[in-house]
Amino acid sequence: MTLISEKDFKQFYIENFSAVRMFIYSKCSDIYLAEDIAQESFVRLWKNKDKVILSKARAFVFTVSGNLFLDHMRHEKVKNSYKNGFEIKFDTSDPHFILEMDEFKLKLEETIMGMPEGARVVFLLNRIEKMTYSQIAESLDLSVKAIEKRMQRALEIMSTLKFNK
């Protein structure tokens, strides 16, 4: 078990920073945001250098960068909802249906957030970001088989989602 030394970190940074930046850039098409998120990912790796094994550092950095990107997108969504004000939208659909859909969305979000982190990351990358298992495996430095197993776990959890009337 090799923890990360300062020398290891410098070399790892040189070898992997551009890959992490491109990983995020492919999601957002904003080079400045990609640069910031990649940088923050490496800062977090440095802060956790005594806990992260060198052989797992790549997966750590890609997972952290993906999570930081998702956090950023959630934050932007909240900012935009407040930025647009409290706009009341009238829908001619059945109010009962709208209420049920809101409840279901809440249950869906709770179910996704309740997944183990590995399963949640794979599920969101595949279903939301439309990444293939191969792309996910490469970005997380895992095998395609490991990605399939995590997706299977995520889908098992999703299959328990029931909507009670």
Residue ranges of domains in the chain: 1-86, 88-165
Instruction: Calculate what percentage of the chain has a pLDDT beyond 90.
Output: 35
Higher-confidence position of 110 and 97: 110
Q: Which among 14, 56, 60, 64 has a CA at the least distance from the CA of 36?
A: 64
Higher-confidence position of 84 and 162: 162
Lowest mean pLDDT segment, chosen from 17-21, 40-44, 61-65, 155-159: 155-159
Given a cut of 90, whether residue 27 has pLDDT beyond it is no
Higher-confidence position of 108 and 64: 64
Average pLDDT value for the chain: 85
Distance from C-alpha of 91 to C-alpha of 97, rounded to nearest angstrom: 11
1-86 under CATH 1.10.1740, yes or no: yes
pLDDT of residue 85: 57
Q: What is the pLDDT of residues 1-21, one digit of tens each?
A: 678 888 989 999 999 999 999
pLDDT of residue 89: 55
Three-state DSSP at 3 gives: strand
pTM, two decimal places: 0.50
| Alpha-carbon torsion angle 30, 67, 2, 50, nearest 10 | 100
Write the class of the CATH domain 88-165.
mainly alpha
pLDDT level of residue 63 (50, 70, 90 thresholds): very high
Total residues found in the chain within this entry: 165
CB–CB of 4/57 below 8 Å?
Answer: yes
